[in-house]
Amino acid sequence: MTLASFTTAGSIVPLAIGPVRATLVALFVLVGAFFLLVGTVGLLRLPDVYNRMHATSKATTLGAASMFLACVAYFGVLGVGLTALVGIVFLYLTAPTGAHVISRSAQKMGVEFAGGATWPGGETRPDEPADAEPESDDD
């Protein structure tokens, strides 16, 4: 029984951990919960898809990674902890890609910024030429 926990009749029996590891686990869980809460509030309160995407992709990535680190601190780097480390790597590889795809598709669909803001550097979207006529729905 060298692993951090073992299974008895379908339930996980945790390994007793010391006060330093317990404090680390609690710290990671609290930090993770804070960032997940910030991401959720940002999703509910921010005005447009670009701001919402930014809040959820940044804050929830940090929050989920912190929760994974709490698993690593509790279980160690073998077994469940290794799975959590792989989860962190997967999270940091996929979250920026997903955020980019969401913002790029919103841009291509013509979703405007909240409050009448324009794209940096001009009045037109970056993917349309400056001399292009505005699209009309009169067809």
Using the structure block, give the residue that is written with the tokens 């609290």: 30
Band (pLDDT 50/70/90 cuts) for residue 2 is: very low
Q: Say yes or no to pLDDT of 120 above 50.
A: yes
Residue 74: CB atoms within 10 Å:
21
What's this model's pTM, rounded to 2 decimal places?
A: 0.71
- Give the residue among 107, 90, 2, 129 at the shortest CA–CA distance from 49: 107
Residues sharing a CB contact under 8 Å with residue 60, sequence separation 6 or more, in sequence order: 35, 36, 39, 40, 95
- Model confidence over 15-57: pLDDT tens digits? 678 889 999 999 999 999 999 999 999 999 988 888 899 888 9
* Centroid of chain to Cα 53: 9
Determine the distance from the C-alpha atom of residue 126 to the mean position of all C-alpha atoms in its chain, rounded to a whole number. Answer: 26
Which is nearest to 60 in space by CA: 52, 70, 71?
A: 52
State how far the Cα of 84 lies from the Cα of 4, in Å rounded to an integer.
14
**Helix ranges restricted to H, the chain:** 19-45, 49-75, 80-108
Q: The tokens of 45 are what?
A: 């309160």
How far apart CA 13 and CA 1 sit, in angstroms, is: 11
Residue with the larger pLDDT of the pair 135 and 100: 100
User: What are the extents of the domains in the chain?
Assistant: 18-111
Which helix or strand (DSSP H or E) is residue 11 part of?
strand 11-14
